[in-house]
Amino acid sequence: ETGVTQSPTHLIKTRGQQVTLRCSSQSGHNTVSWYQQALGQGPQFIFQYYREEENGRGNFPPRFSGLQFPNYSSELNVNALELDDSALYLCASSLGDSRHRDEQFFGPGTRLTVL
């Protein structure tokens, strides 16, 4: 059973640029959630994808967007990067049925630095 993987591990961008982060869900999982974790803070929910459709969104502006592919891997795209976007971005996969919805398996994260 393959765990959740994320790429890249680290990324440095400048203000105004765009970035794409990638997540491969655990084998058999059809749901991916993305979180932003600023330094010294808990993770903040960005959005969730279930079977390729957005299935809930936190308080993040539209320049944060995502995709989920038929193999359930996912991308997080951030446009017009701002300094405050510097954070650890975590993805978590789970089975979307009600019985397993809480069993999120987290990836190691992507550390994004915006200069």
Partner 1 sequence: AQTVTQSQPEMSVQEAETVTLSCTYDTSESDYYLFWYKQPPSRQMILVIRQEAYKQQNATENRFSVNFQKAAKSFSLKISDSQLGDAAMYFCAYRTSTGNQFYFGTGTSLTVIP
Asked if residue 44 binds partner 1 (CB under 8 A), the reply is yes
Q: Which of these ranges, 19-27, 50-58, 64-72, 75-83, lies near partner 1 under the rule CB under 8 A?
A: 50-58
Query: Shortest approach of partner 1 to residue 102 CB, angstroms?
Result: 6
| Contact status, residue 49 vs residue 56, Cβ threshold 8 Å | no
Burial label for 91, CB within 10 Å (0-12, 13-18, 19+), is buried
| Contact status, residue 31 vs residue 93, Cβ threshold 8 Å | yes
Asked if residue 23 binds partner 1 (CB under 8 A), the reply is no
Asked if residue 103 binds partner 1 (CB under 8 A), the reply is yes
Asked if residue 60 binds partner 1 (CB under 8 A), the reply is no
Asked if residue 48 binds partner 1 (CB under 8 A), the reply is yes
C-beta closer to partner 1: residue 63 or 101:
101
